Amino acid sequence: MTSPSTISIDTRLGVVGALIGVALVAGVFLQGGYLVTVIGFAAIYGIFCTGLNFFMGYTGQASFGQNAFAALGGYGTAILCAGLSWQPLIALPVTMVISGLIAAAVGYPTLRLRGHYLAMATFALGLITYELSIEWIDLTHGYMGYAGIPPLGIGTYELSSDRQQLLALVAVLLLGVWIANRLRDSRFGRALRGIAGSEAAANALGIDIARYKLAAFVIAAVYASVAGSLFAHFIGFISPEVFGLSMVTASFTMLYLGGIGTIWGPIIGAVVVSILPEAIRHIAAMVPNAPSNLKDFQEILYAVLLILILIFFPKGLAALPGMIARWRETKSEKGA
């Protein structure tokens, strides 16, 4: 070995990743403006996807309806904070508990289904919630949406600026990642990952599959609820479309792009998917004499980029360190 460094490639890449993350947040914080909203959305989606990762990544199940719980969180927050003038910090845990209980009640019968059937049932769950948010006008204000939701705050102190809220979102995201990491690397997390690997083997080793699937589903729902609540506080306004089907497709893209089943994959995916359209738009704006229908091409370019990433990094961007490590290994072998 000629390399003087004894620090592993994972550690070094971790440091690089952390630096990029800090630089991103700090840069956006200093720059301000529209980018704060973009990164704020990325953080909210990061929380949502970190939760979804428990169910779809660690446990290997499919849910097309996790947007239902984001809607529960968002509307719960809107009704409690804007309608009933509750404190955000009291409303947040209350909506989390409600979402968790509803997830348990809905998941108990639903999770007996497997594969495509489970996917369809959860999909229906999202659609039902969406319809409810449109039709139950007394409660949700229907298509009009719910306005006047206060930002996060304690007592009379409110995080009035976007920048303060961005920091709060990032703090919640990091807490969510820390919890996920703690749970993943434990008896509980290993049981989930065992179920993803082989239900037959997990069963033979005495793992209560139904119970662990339900636990993962409820955890995912609570994360989704928090994401919905934070969205409501951050933007101050919600409507049924916010928690519609686009939330499902966006979160799936983020999970698979970033690396499903990994700790940082959902975050990487959330950031890339949030920034990519903005970056494309920015670059497109610099093209001289651009045709007027350039906007249509942006969508196509975005889709092509996503497909390329998935072709070259099928296990997601979070698998990049491993790929680099292997590449360096084979290179040093050839050099030796």
Partner 1 sequence: MSLLQVQNVTKRFGGLTANDSISFEVPESTVFAVIGPNGAGKTTLFNAISGFFPPTEGRIAFDEQDITGAPQRKIAERGLVRTYQLVQLFKDLTVTENVLVGFHLVTKGAVGAALWRPRWMREQEARIREEARELLAFVGLSAQADMQADTLPYGQQRLLEVARALAAKPKLLLLDEPAAGLNTDETQALADTILRIRDRGITVLLIEHDMSLVMQIAQRIVVLDFGKKIAEGTPAEIKAHPDVIAAYLGSPEAADA
* Site residues (vs partner 1, CB under 8 A): 179, 182-183, 186-191, 193-194, 196-198, 200-209, 215, 219, 261
| Cβ 314 to partner 1 shortest distance, Å | 13
Q: Are 256 and 268 in contact (CB under 8 A)?
A: no
Nearer to partner 1, 38 or 209 (CB): 209
Tell me the helix, strand and coil percentages in the chain, rounded to 5: 80, 0, 20
51: closest CA among 209, 285, 294, 229? 229
**CA 269 centroid distance within chain:** 8
Q: Considering beta carbons, is residue 44 or 215 the nearer one to partner 1?
A: 215
Closest to partner 1 by CB, 71 vs 202, is 202
Cβ neighbours of residue 315 under 8 Å, at least 6 residues apart? 259
Q: Which two tokens stand for residue 114?
A: 């497997």
**Shortest CB 259 distance to partner 1, Å:** 12
| Dihedral (CA of 51, 56, 57, 61) sign | positive
Q: Which is nearer to partner 1, 106 or 222 (CB)?
A: 222
- The CB-side HSE value for 28 (13 A sphere, CA atoms) comes to 24
155 phi-psi bin (left φ>0, alpha ψ -120 to 50, beta other): left
CB 175 to partner 1: min, Å: 11
Closest contact distance (angstroms) between CB of 298 and partner 1 is: 36
CB of 33 or CB of 197, closer to partner 1: 197
Give the residue with the Cβ less far from partner 1, 141 or 184.
Answer: 184
Taking the complex as a whole, the smallest distance from the CB of residue 205 to partner 1 amounts, in Å, to: 5
- DSSP-derived letter for residue 113 is S
Least distance between partner 1 and beta carbon 185 (Å): 8
